Structure 1
Amino acid sequence: MKLPSNKIESPYVYIVSFIVALPICAVIWSTKKVVWPLMRIFTNKILWPLMRYIAIDLVRNIKNYITKTEETEQTEQLPTPEIFKDAPNLGRAREIQLDN
């Protein structure tokens, strides 16, 4: 009984390597010719504008949050006392201090 050859030049090695390499090459070729252009179109026409819109909206919301002012109630201004009404260099009195 003859044992199988251990040499790498065996014809079966070439057949098996061809059968294994053919689907791999087909996947690589189809990826290069079909999938890659579709992904490039998807990225350039859909993904980047969507990411840009999201980034602009996010920056706008952050700006609004940072510059947002709280609504506070207006405090009533105290009337100017009679003694200061005819004084030319004095502004309106903002507060009155009473010494106890």
Structure 2
Amino acid sequence: MPARIRRDDEVIVIAGKDKGKTGRVLRVEPDNDRVYVEGLNIIKRHQRPTPGRPDSVGGVIEREGGIHVSNVALLDPKDKKPTRIGIEIHEGRRFRVARRSGTRID
């Protein structure tokens, strides 16, 4: 299956506690069907400092949690509204296409 949502895509959350919020995709985990969106689904982790590493700080760490890929939709580059993604083959190359406006993504 082609990668419909990739790193650095602008997405909108369509379900869950952050519904309606938009952000940039930081990381994609295709094996787990998860995307990590900048500033959304913030989780807290209590972390103890590691003695061997000077950059390891302790305390409560806030970071982005994963969101299931079915709960986000790509934003159309033209009108910034949610769109589905199609695949167009042109001269042997595959391109992602916004179904809403027909514009190529990439």
Q: Judging by fraction of residues, say which structure has more strand.
A: 2
Taking structure 1 as the reference length, what is the TM-score of the superposition? 0.22
Indicate the structure whose relative CO is greater, using CA pairs within 8 Å and at least 6 residues apart: 2
Taking structure 2 as the reference length, what is the TM-score of the superposition? 0.21
Q: Judging by fraction of residues, say which structure has more helix.
A: 1
Larger Rg: 1
